Amino acid sequence: MTIHADKLRWLLWLRWKTLTRGFSRRPASLVGAIVLLLVVLWIGGSIGVATFFAYRNLTPPANSEVLYLVLTGVLLVWIVLPLLEFTGNEGLDVSKLTLFPLTRAELMASLLFSTLLDIPTLGLVLVLAAVIAGWAVSVPVAILAFFTMLIFYMLVVGVSQLVLAIFMSTLQSRRFRDLSIIILALFGSSFYLLQQFVFGGTRFLHFTESLQNGSYSPYLQWLPSGVAARSILLAIQGNWGASLAWLGVLLVVGLLVLYLWQIVLERSLSRPEVSGSPRVRAQRREPPGIPASSAGARPADTSESSWGRILSPQVTAIARKDLKYFWRDPQLKAMMFQSVIYVAIFLVGPLLNPSSSRFAGSSYVLFIAPAVVLLFLLTLSLNTLGLERESLTTLFLFPVPPQRILWGKNLAVFALGLVELLVLIALGAFFTQNWNLALPVLVVGLAGMGVTLGCGNFTSVYFPQYVRQMQRGFRATGQTSQAGCLRAVMSLLMLIVTAILLIPVALALWLPYYFQVEWIWSVTIPLSLAYGIAFHQLVTRLVAPRILERAPEILAITTRE
């Protein structure tokens, strides 16, 4: 277990360099880091302050129960989040360091020290500092609490790294990565629902009574977090022998975890990389040949009819491809699921809780349905070329007329929007028993889709944006600040513009209803549909040629090659 101080110093220098170099090479990432820092400070600080007062002011055994729960929560968070690559501790990339003749002790020590430079560690330190401050009833207890938290910190980092190493092959599988992207995206958007669930669960489990009765510690005391808590609590009771014994147990467990982590990591790194099952393919015996056909590539056939162009094989192929992508690409799938959650929050929630809804029993729910769908459509169509990400290069290599690219993409989004609109209208009409409004709302929704897709085509061509390939972890799940502000401002601006352009459509539905002259719908509703179609066609025809003219510039923005 030799540790050369010089090597350790150089390893820490490496960690510092990679951190600062990241900011100097991409200054924009500094903004993201500052935001993350503020969030971590806020969360860690809030928990720290709240738990400090809980340790001090709650009557025993509730305060010690809080200690058990907090330490166990910290341990669980540090185990679970790295699995989603919400990297609790980035530290050093040990897989690269194994090339050098470093001892296990040096690797462990460098990992532990380098984690102090990770932003999430700050939150952890605040929570652990609150434990020390909250239980420092005397100097000896404060010193013991300090060392207990130090060892617990080592254990927490070690356990999270051990779990990562154990599940390394699973974590690297594409299916798991896809799933974690969706889970993370949904976690953010379903906060309201989770909140309701947690509060409901808290009431159900009689949380406060359990705290006062000390119901948690009998179970949690056997976990490493419980051992740490028990060591502090025994010292406060004056049972120093038992306290130090449990501290020793914690230290042994911590060292064991670090050792196991190192062993598992070494094995996983030395395991040969295998992709798929081994398969020996028979060598090709047939002479090579080029698939022969009289048919070659055909650029646009301008003699086709309008409908022929709109529903040409190229358009339907692009639409089919996009629909497959909506389902198979975790980033796009997450966007779709998020829209379902928004629907649940804005529509289904009020419908199922009539007492809390001012919309209950009225037809407003039906009127809101197209707005929810159009909002969803806008997120998918505002930057339709950017959503292709790197593959846009491939699309631009094909001899496809630009109108067809837009039509194909619009067709896919329209299909999704139509399904969502039909479902929402059916649900709304069912709950409010306003089936007479279903058809007008549907037609107005279609008209709105025309306007929304038209606006999306305009922004996609003139203001394409880079969409970062979403990966697991906080480093790429929206906390990146690359074009973040511009994107937010532009999205807001486009939302306003689209809303203004949708006013005629909304008025066509709303005014006759408000003045109770619904017979006018027979004129206004078809007119709104005509307006939506005409707007979409006009805008698409005007902006599509610019795709060809601006292809390299669009690629430069959206692909960052």
Per the rule left: phi > 0, alpha: psi between -120 and 50, beta: everything else, 486 is alpha
Please check whether residue 473 is in contact with residue 86, taking contact to mean a CB–CB distance below 8 angstroms.
yes
Torsion region of 351: left, alpha or beta (phi above 0 gives left; psi -120 to 50 gives alpha): alpha
**Where on the chain is the footprint of other proteins (CB under 8 A)?**
174, 275-276, 279, 281, 283-284, 286-291, 293, 295-301, 313-314, 316-318, 320-321, 324-325, 328-329, 390-401, 548, 551-553, 555, 559, 561
Cα separations in angstroms, 520 against 362, 369, 436, 512: 21, 21, 14, 6
| φ, ψ (nearest 5 deg) of residue 513 | -70, -40
What's the min distance (Å) between Cβ of 197 and other proteins?
A: 32
Q: How far is the CB of 322 from other proteins (least distance, A)?
A: 10
Q: What minimum distance in Å lies between the beta carbon of 113 and other proteins?
A: 33
Q: What is the Cα–Cα distance from 218 to 63, expressed in whole angstroms?
A: 15
Say how far apart CA 147 and CA 251 lie, in whole Å: 10
b/e map of 241-255 (b: 16 or more CB within 10 Å)?
eebeebbeebbebbb
Distance CA 464, CA 385 (A): 7
217: nearest Cα among 64, 52, 54, 51: 64
Considering the complex, state which of residue 517 and residue 556 has its C-beta at the smaller distance from other proteins: 556
Cis geometry, peptide bond prior to residue 61 (ω within 30 degrees of 0) = yes
- 289 CB-near residues (< 8 Å, 6+ apart): none
Minimum distance from residue 338 beta carbon to other proteins (Å):
19
DSSP letter assigned to residue 518 = G
| Cα 64 from Cα 226, distance rounded (Å) | 10
Candidates 354, 511, 525; CA nearest to 432 is 354
Q: How far is the CB of 275 from other proteins (least distance, A)?
A: 6
Nearest to 364, CA basis, from 432, 418, 423? 432
Task: Give, rounded to a whole angstrom, the gap between the first and last alpha carbons of the chain.
Answer: 46
Tokens of 170: 């699973």
Closest C-alpha to 337, from 492, 450, 182: 182
CA distance 476 to 85: 10
462 CB neighbour count, 10 Å cutoff: 11
In the complex, the smallest distance separating the C-beta of residue 479 from other proteins, rounded to whole angstroms, is 24
**Looking at beta carbons only, is 298 or 358 nearer to other proteins?**
298
* Shorter beta-carbon distance to other proteins: residue 174 or 358: 174
List Cα–Cα distances, 295 to 213, 298, 404, 517, in angstroms: 81, 8, 21, 59
Closest-CA residue to 409 (of 442, 382, 448): 382
CB 374 within 8 A of CB 452: yes
In the bound complex, what is the minimum distance in angstroms from residue 291's beta carbon to other proteins? 4
| Token pair for 35 | 């935001």
The b-or-e profile of 403-433 (16+ CB within 10 A means b, else e) is bbbbbbbbbbbbebbbebbeebbebbbebbe
For the CB of residue 289, give the shortest distance to other proteins in the complex, in Å.
7
Q: How far is the CB of 294 from other proteins (least distance, A)?
A: 9
Q: What is the CA radius of gyration of the chain?
A: 30
In DSSP notation, 193-213 reads HHHHHHHHHHHHTTHHHHHHH
Q: Which helix (H) or strand (E) holds 285?
A: none
